[in-house]
Amino acid sequence: MADDALIVIDVQNDFCPGGALAVENGDQVVPVINGLIKRFDHVVLTQDWHPAGHSSFASQHAGHDPFTAIEMPYGEQTLWPDHCVQGSEGAAFHAGLDWTRAELVVRKGFRKAIDSYSAFFENDHTTPTGLGGYLKERGISKVTMAGLATDFCVGFSALDAVKLGLSVTVVMEGCRAIDLGGSLAAMTEKMRAAGVSLV
Ligand code: VGL
Ligand code: ZN
């Protein structure tokens, strides 16, 4: 339908097996998402796209390990292994992803001092990526999401989409999670409570 867009979140090599921030079975989302892409008139991709030395990388914080959290000026931030560095093979889309028909690629996390999980707002929950305005101008009021990872970039994108007044569906079969300390269950409950349709 014309007012419905598929948003494919971060299906990049670094989030797939063998990648720097591998999500278990992350590559299994590819055939599911390729099937979805065929069924949508409009397809948007997001791409995690960090400069080298990004502040979300544990390597930039002496004495702090990956998968621990620190306080940043904009709030709590989980620290990650270096991943999705701009122009690297790890930042490229999975080779099997059929992205040819995508109308827009939204890159995020490109400001060194701030991370961006959501496709709509950076982690200060204030700085827009522009995707909300893009969808609005194009008359798109419904979004369906899938990709990596369920409990971070997909989840925060879905919650922000609801806040922007969009009707939101997440295809769980097309998502895989990092699941840090129960983050998958917590995010699933948040999405449900916000009115995201989980299918
Ligand atoms: C993501 C952690 C760091 C994601 C991106 O795509 O879910 N997670 N950067
Ligand atoms: Zn990232």
For the chain, percent of residues with pLDDT exceeding 90: 99
Residue with tokens 């798109």: 140
pLDDT at res. 134: 98
SS3 content of the chain, % helix, strand, coil (to 5): 30, 25, 45
- The two structure tokens encoding residue 187: 């995010």
* Mutation choice for ligand 1 from 7, 9, 11, 15, CB with most ligand atoms inside 8 A: 15
In angstroms, the CA 46 to CA 147 distance is: 9
- The two structure tokens encoding residue 98: 């059929």
Query: Do residues 154 and 182 lie in contact, with contact meaning Cβ atoms separated by under 8 Å?
Result: no
- Nearest Cα neighbor of 65 from 53, 57, 76 is 57
The predicted-structure confidence for 160-196, as pLDDT tens digits, reads as follows 999 999 999 999 999 999 999 999 999 999 999 999 9
For ligand 2, a single-atom ion, the residues with CB < 5 A are: 48, 109
In angstroms, the CA 193 to CA 199 distance is: 14
pLDDT at res. 2: 84
Cis peptide before 149 (omega within 30 of 0): yes
| CA of 78 relative to ligand 1 center, distance in Å | 10
- Report whether pLDDT(1) > 80: no
In this structure, the residue with its CA closest to atom 8 of ligand 1 is 152
Question: 106-134 burial string, b = 16+ CB within 10 Å, else e?
Answer: bbbbbeeebbbbbbbbbbeeeeebebbee
Nearest-atom number in ligand 1 for the CA of 12 is 6
- The two structure tokens encoding residue 102: 């995508």
CB atoms within 10 A of CB 67: 14
The predicted-structure confidence for 105-149, as pLDDT tens digits, reads as follows 999 999 999 999 999 999 999 999 999 999 999 999 999 999 999
The CB of 160 under 6 Å from ligand 1? The reply is no
- Residues taking part in catalysis: 10, 108, 153
Beta pairing, strands 4-9 & 69-72: unpaired
The CB of 156 under 6 Å from ligand 1? The reply is no
Per-residue confidence band for 103, with pLDDT thresholds at 50, 70 and 90: very high
